[in-house]
């Protein structure tokens, strides 16, 4: 396994599309969401005040944070509830990991492009 990869040990069939799954990774706690059969991985805790995004409501490929309602596109990580585009901390996208399939059929994550500590990204459970 390459150093920039992390084998979750989970198979796609083990994920419940209705219950996103938090998982500790070398880059902090991430969450696995199933969107129309596709597995996407974003930081598990909200970039606002670290609300549990994996407990948020999911609709149309977007997750709404259960604490204050910030909404993010799960495929791009972009915040989508802003009335007009903004820059700065409020507009920072979620940290994401690319999800691939390992040799044994388990889900393998690739390191996020941005280091988590540089983006106010995932923390550990
Ligand atoms: S902690 Fe997520 S919107 Fe505030």
- Under CATH, domain 5-118 is a member of which superfamily? Rieske [2Fe-2S] iron-sulphur domain (2.102.10.10)
Atom of ligand 1 nearest to the CA of 49: 1
- Mean pLDDT over residues 24-36, rounded? 97
The single-letter DSSP state of residue 56 is S
Length of the chain: 125
Beta bridge partners of 41: 32, 97
- Mean pLDDT over residues 12-29, rounded? 97
- Ligand 1 site residues, Cβ closer than 6 angstroms: 46, 48-49, 51, 65, 67-70
Probe target for ligand 1 pocket from 31, 52, 70, 72, with the most ligand atoms within 8 Å of CB: 70
Tell me the domain boundaries of the chain: 5-118
pLDDT digits (tens, 9 = 90+) for 62-115: 999 999 999 999 999 999 998 887 788 888 999 999 999 998 999 999 999 865
Which among 82, 113, 108 has a CA at the least distance from the CA of 96?
113
**Closest Cα to atom 3, ligand 1: which residue?**
68
**Closest Cα to atom 4, ligand 1: which residue?**
68
Confidence class of residue 125 from pLDDT cuts 50, 70 and 90?
low
CA 64 from centroid of its chain's CA atoms: 12
CA 49 from centroid of its chain's CA atoms: 16
- Mean pLDDT over residues 6-19, rounded? 97
Q: What is the pTM of this model?
A: 0.88
Percent of the chain with pLDDT over 70: 90
């Amino acid at each position: 396994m390459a150093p920039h990869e992390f084998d979750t040990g989970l198979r796609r069939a083990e994920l419940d599309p209705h219950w996103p799954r938090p998982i500790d990774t070398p880059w902090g706690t991430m969450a696995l969401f199933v969107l129309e059969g596709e597995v996407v991985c974003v930081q598990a805790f909200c970039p606002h005040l670290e609300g549990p995004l994996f407990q948020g409501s999911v609709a149309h490929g977007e997750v709404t944070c259960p604490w204050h309602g910030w909404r993010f596109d799960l495929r791009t990580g972009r915040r989508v509830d802003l009335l007009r585009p903004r820059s700065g901390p409020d507009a920072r996208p979620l940290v994401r990991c690319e999800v691939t399939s390992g040799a044994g059929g388990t889900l393998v994550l690739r390191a996020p492009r941005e280091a988590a500590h540089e983006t106010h990204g995932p923390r550990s459970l």
